[in-house]
Amino acid sequence: MTTTLDAPGLDVREDVRSFVGSSRQLFIGGSLVDAADGGTFATIDPATGMEITQVAEATAEDVDRAVKAARAALEGEWGALPGTARGKILLRLAELVEEHADELAQLESLDNGKPLPFAQYDISSVAEHFRYFAGWTNKIEGATIPTSIPNSLVYTRPRPVGVVGAIVPWNFPLLMATWKMAPALAAGCTLVLKPAEQTPLSALRFAELAAEAGLPDGTLNVVTGFGEVTGQALVEHPGVDKIVFTGSTAVGRIIGATAAKTVKPVSLELGGKSPHIIFDDADVEAAAAAAANAIFYESGQVCSAGSRLMVQQGIYDELVERVTAIAESLKMGTGLAPDTTLGPLVSEEQLDRVRGYVETGLSEGATAVTGGEAVDGDGYFFRPTVLRDVPDHVTVCREEIFGPVLVTQPFESLEEVAQRANATEYGLAAGVWTRDLGRAHRMAELLDAGSVFLNCYNAFDPAVPFGGFKQSGYGRDGGRDALEKFLETKAVWTNLA
Ligand code: NAI
Ligand code: MG
């Protein structure tokens, strides 16, 4: 059968061609295996709508096998390793990821549609995360606690939370998986990872590299499949000790409710509708470039996308014009084409969702300055869109669109913009541009958001916590907060008398 790789002029590496040249199996207990019922599904190139390859579709039985393999590794080889030895393996893994960076990046770009340089950035960040968390492996300490009880010695011992189920989305496939895997492994946990059905390939290749780095069999298992079957089986499984999830708020609610049945702790990194606020004393050129990048990078499929641009009245028209000019200069195309700066949306479903939102926005009174429609053809491309003078109450101003669609609004004062920016159910990120230091930090204090970016936007580092307030979720990826998510505390009491 013809696949997307048969398209003329597509410069795909031999190792990538060979990886997708046969259907991909599950990775359980260190082995590549078919699904119990032999089921597979297609993963699609969103630039062409054509199949890349078939991937095994894990059933509840496969999830059960993966959980048992993870338990065995926890109680066996991985659980017995001292922190320093875990750290060495994670450092070796970071090196292997770098050695295979071009291969992993092409695979990611093909499966997700993102421009290759963005995928390359993701993969370098994957390696950096493993390096950062490798550093924590031998620094996990308890405390001795003075108490009011005479003759007592009390100390705490942090221990890994156990078998972790990680369910991740398709926008940064391997990087989001890494945000869960790196701290979980550093803490000494084992994992069953379920990548998104739209983008299963990079996690499967990564699992092979993890084995090559010396991760014992069963420490990391990858079960590919759909949310309602494979994902749900993982959340329901009594042998899973914790669920970590990045994805939609709607599914986050379902996961929280399902996990409650087995009293599993859950961490949720969910959606956002993040305000990007520009005061009239800002560096207008830098702010406009950042505002465009905050919504058009990855075609707007970023949880912390700056999707609601709020500009002080005096420079509103200028900002809208500048961002529009940048939108119109973007080059749409397949992620592997060297001149592409705007890739397709990940799936037909996502294209339909974005199209629906924009139609609703226009019918509710927003004006499209540019874009506003999908591109005719087989791929899932949507034109970069700027909407102006959008009222606060309309759907496109309140809900996450997850596409290259920027809502813009003027504002007058600091108090007003802070109040309006916070009047949303989300609280993931916010950006503020001003040359007034006091105003910048005042805004940082007022905004209800897990990350506030002052004169920058969407900066990330493995050492810095990232996550949401309100219905953007709870728990943090990144930094020490992420590590602690995968530890639980045992208190030990001793009678010295
Ligand atoms: P989704 O939330 O359905 O998918 C994320 C992951 O959850 C996937 O691995 C999926 O298989 C899994 N999943 C779905 N239903 C599940 C269930 N019942 N039990 C266990 N796992 C389940 O996201 P979807 O449908 O792909 O995108 C819809 C919207 O979600 C987007 O338009 C966007 O607004 C938001 N989203 C937010 C992301 C973020 O980074 N915060 C990432 C992806 C989507
Ligand atoms: Mg795909």
- Taking only the tens place, the pLDDT of each residue in 207-249 is 999 999 999 999 999 999 999 999 999 999 999 999 999 999 9
Please check whether residues 424 and 483 belong to one and the same domain.
Answer: no
Please check whether residues 70 and 196 belong to one and the same domain.
Answer: yes
The answer to whether position 128 is within a domain reads: yes
Pocket perturbation via mutation, ligand 1, pick of 248, 269, 295, 395 by most ligand atoms within 8 A of CB: 248
pLDDT digits (tens, 9 = 90+) for 355-412: 999 999 999 999 999 999 999 999 999 999 999 999 999 999 999 999 999 999 999 9
What is the position in ligand 1's atom list of the atom closest to the CA of 269? 41
Give the model's pLDDT for residue 11.
86
User: What is the whole-number distance in angstroms between the Cα of residue 434 and the centre of ligand 2?
Assistant: 40
Please check whether residues 266 and 281 belong to one and the same domain.
Answer: no
- 297: its two tokens: 């990078």
Q: What are the helix and strand counts (H, E) for the chain? A: 17, 19
What is the rounded CA–CA span in Å between residue 339 and residue 89?
Answer: 37
The answer to whether position 4 is within a domain reads: no
The answer to whether position 353 is within a domain reads: yes
Please check whether residues 282 and 241 belong to one and the same domain.
Answer: no
The arithmetic mean of pLDDT across residues 282-305, rounded, is 98
Say if residue 13 is exposed, middle or buried (CB neighbours under 10 Å; 0-12, 13-18, 19+).
middle
What is the rounded CA–CA span in Å between residue 376 and residue 353?
Answer: 16
pLDDT digits (tens, 9 = 90+) for 165-205: 999 999 999 999 999 999 999 999 999 999 999 999 999 99
From the list 41, 45, 57, 46, the residue with the least C-alpha distance to 16 is: 45
353 lines ligand 1 (CB under 6 A): yes
Ramachandran assignment for 81, one of left (phi > 0), alpha (psi -120 to 50 degrees), beta (any other): beta
CATH number for the domain spanning 198: value is 3.40.605.10
What is the rounded CA–CA span in Å between residue 72 and residue 76?
Answer: 6
From the list 46, 8, 6, the residue with the least C-alpha distance to 379 is: 46
Q: Work out the percent of the chain whose per-residue pLDDT is above 90.
A: 98
Please check whether residues 56 and 142 belong to one and the same domain.
Answer: yes
Distance (Å) of CA 271 to CA 235, 242, 252: 20, 21, 9
Please check whether residues 208 and 310 belong to one and the same domain.
Answer: no
User: Which DSSP state fits 6?
Assistant: G
Please check whether residues 199 and 324 belong to one and the same domain.
Answer: no
Task: With a cut of 70, say whether residue 20 has pLDDT above it.
Answer: yes
Q: Is the pTM of this model over 0.85?
A: yes
Cβ-count burial 459-487 (b if 16+ within 10 Å, e if not): ebebeeebbbbbbbbbbbbbbebbbbbbb
Please check whether residues 89 and 231 belong to one and the same domain.
Answer: yes
The answer to whether position 114 is within a domain reads: yes
Consecutive H or E run containing 487: strand 487-495
Task: With a cut of 70, say whether residue 496 has pLDDT above it.
Answer: yes
Give the model's pLDDT for residue 399.
97
Please check whether residues 438 and 481 belong to one and the same domain.
Answer: no
CATH number for the domain spanning 337: value is 3.40.309.10
Q: What is the dihedral of CA 185, 186, 188, 191, to 10 degrees?
A: -10
Give the model's pLDDT for residue 349.
97
The answer to whether position 398 is within a domain reads: yes
Give the model's pLDDT for residue 1.
65
pLDDT digits (tens, 9 = 90+) for 69-81: 999 999 999 999 9
| Number of domains comprising the chain | 2
The answer to whether position 496 is within a domain reads: no
The answer to whether position 120 is within a domain reads: yes
Domain containing residue 150: 15-270+474-490
The answer to whether position 6 is within a domain reads: no
Please check whether residues 312 and 191 belong to one and the same domain.
Answer: no
426 lines ligand 1 (CB under 6 A): no
246 lines ligand 1 (CB under 6 A): yes
Catalytic residue chosen out of the listed positions 57, 103, 128, 269: 269
> What DSSP string describes 240-273?
--EEEEES-HHHHHHHHHHHHTTT--EEEE----
400 belongs to the catalytic site: no
Q: Which amino acid is at 459?
A: A
